[in-house]
Amino acid sequence: MKFYAKGKLLLTAEYAVLGGAKALGLPTKLGQSLDVTKTTKAKIEWKSIDVNGQVWYENSFDKTTFAPQQKNDAIGQRIQQLLRAIKELNPKIWSEVNGLKFVSTLEFDRNWGLGSSSTLVSLLAQWSEVNPYIILQKVFGGSGYDIACATAQGVLLYERTNVINPSITTVDFNPSFKNQLFFIHLNKKQDSQKAVAAFDSDILTPAKMKIINRLSLAFLDNLTIDNFQNLMREHEMFIGNLIGATPIQKRLFNDYPGAIKSLGAWGGDFILACGSVDTPYYFEQKGYNTCLKYQALIDD
């Protein structure tokens, strides 16, 4: 059995999405696959392969307790939690086999923050036929927008109306100037779990929710490049004030001629830059060599 899940980028409503704000999620062309094979061995075998085809993680787990063979292993403990959650939700799936072999394969650099964890949750949920949002809340927590992106058919408007049954709507987001949009990796993987835990959704008053919802929906308007950049700046200013942080452009790229916006938890992973053909050169000179064109990550 083989399953597939897409990666993700959060275009709008970072942090606020946790409190139920409307957010735009971008499913990526790159994702993760999972092969599941029945075996005669009374154990669970696990192998994870990176984008270069190299095994970066390997372990075995007890079929009953899911305890990892290798101890003091944070990844193994996380997989154990996932398998336990699945057993709780669908115990029958384990009773029907002697053993199982899981092989996961990433299509993106696992340090990029495109969703190596969320895609894995989605893949295991697809295999076990359980609700991925329940698994997410039991093991990781979070808004769930990344789970929605994993199986989405296009850009989506996500609203956490219900923790295990959110509102998801496919939307038309296809800017005419997408050849002037770039995703730049900040050479730093952000711990989204810590960012989620640190955010207090109580600060989202009805007035603030109204503003962030308006901003998210405004990105879906037929904008000119100038209006799009102004909206990026307005959104950055709002979130910066909300979480008490300085926008990334003001902090690191104050001399950049276009507009820059954080994507997801601030401080790491990818940012969005709107500019010219010189944009990759600008960031390369600053020491940021991963600069991807919009079309390289997002479907038309």
Question: Where do the H-state alpha helices sit in the chain?
Answer: 74-89, 92-95, 116-128, 132-139, 145-150, 192-198, 206-218, 225-243, 248-252, 279-285, 294-297
The domain boundary, picked from 122, 142, 169, lies at 169
269 beta partners: none
Tell me the mean pLDDT per 10 residues along the chain, length 300.
97 95 97 96 95 96 92 90 96 89 96 94 97 96 96 96 95 94 90 69 90 97 95 97 94 96 90 95 96 92
Do 215 and 90 have their domain in common?
Answer: no
pLDDT given for residue 61 in this prediction: 95
Q: What's the distance, CA 219 to chain centroid?
A: 19
Ramachandran angles phi, psi of 105, nearest 5°: -135, 120
What is the distance between the alpha carbons of residues 229 and 235, in angstroms, rounded to a whole number?
10
For the beta carbon of residue 221, count every other beta carbon within 10 angstroms: 10
Structural domain count of the chain: 2
Do 98 and 156 have their domain in common?
Answer: yes
What is the distance between the alpha carbons of residues 68 and 83, in angstroms, rounded to a whole number?
11
Do 262 and 148 have their domain in common?
Answer: no
pLDDT given for residue 239 in this prediction: 95
Do 124 and 22 have their domain in common?
Answer: yes
Ramachandran angles phi, psi of 85, nearest 5°: -60, -40
Do 154 and 205 have their domain in common?
Answer: no
pLDDT given for residue 267 in this prediction: 81
- Which residues, at least 6 apart from 33, have a Cβ–Cβ distance to it below 8 Å? 2, 3, 4, 5, 104, 105, 107, 123
pLDDT given for residue 191 in this prediction: 66
Residue 227, domain CATH:
3.30.70.890
The domain boundary, picked from 129, 149, 169, lies at 169
What is the distance between the alpha carbons of residues 66 and 100, in angstroms, rounded to a whole number?
12
DSSP 125: H
Around 102, how many Cα atoms within 13 Å sit in the side-chain half-sphere? 24
pLDDT given for residue 97 in this prediction: 87
Residue 4 exposed, middle or buried by CB count within 10 Å (0-12, 13-18, 19+): middle
Do 287 and 162 have their domain in common?
Answer: no
Q: What's the distance, CA 202 to chain centroid?
A: 23
Global pTM value: 0.94
48, 33 in Cβ contact below 8 A? no
66, 78 in Cβ contact below 8 A? no
Do 188 and 92 have their domain in common?
Answer: no
259, 273 in Cβ contact below 8 A? yes
Q: What's the distance, CA 6 to chain centroid?
A: 9
What is the span of the domain harbouring residue 69? 2-169
Residue 158, domain CATH:
3.30.230.10
pLDDT given for residue 200 in this prediction: 72
pLDDT given for residue 196 in this prediction: 67
Q: Return the structure tokens found at 219.
A: 């990105």
For the beta carbon of residue 208, count every other beta carbon within 10 angstroms: 16
The domain boundary, picked from 169, 187, 206, lies at 169
